[in-house]
């Protein structure tokens, strides 16, 4: 069962529960969001609407997530290619060994 946790993001307090996360993890995430809200409010002083700031924060985290996913996919493909190359090398070496012994 998920535990309800009170967090503060910017000037707002809210009670949340998130599946699979501990209260410590939820508070850490809320802190990151709060920090990003502060950063974006500082960069967009003309925007007084907190819902717009919240959307900018969401877009910012979405962009970060997309970059991380792309980097992860690239790393996975590179590892798969390297594994295939090593596998072929091993197959070739074993074939040469069996040919010279046969």
Largest Cα–Cα distance of the chain, in whole Å?
80
Domain ranges of the chain: 5-101
Q: Using one digit for the tens of pLDDT, what is the confidence trace for 6-50?
A: 999 988 999 999 999 999 999 999 999 999 999 998 988 888 788
Asked if 17 and 5 touch (Cβ cutoff 8 Å), the reply is yes
Q: Which residues pair with 9 in a beta bridge?
A: 12
Q: What is the pLDDT of residues 82-102, one digit of tens each?
A: 999 999 999 989 988 888 876
Report which DSSP code applies to 11. T
């Amino acid at each position: 069962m998920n535990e309800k946790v009170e967090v503060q993001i910017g000037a707002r307090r809210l009670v949340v529960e998130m599946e699979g996360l501990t209260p410590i993890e939820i508070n850490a995430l809320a802190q990151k969001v709060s920090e990003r809200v502060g950063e974006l409010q500082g960069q967009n002083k003309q925007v007084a609407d907190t819902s717009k700031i919240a959307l900018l924060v969401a877009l910012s985290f979405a962009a970060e997530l997309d970059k991380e996913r792309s980097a992860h996919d690239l790393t996975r493909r590179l590892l798969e290619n390297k594994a295939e190359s090593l596998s072929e090398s091993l197959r070739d070496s074993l074939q040469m060994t069996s040919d010279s012994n046969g």
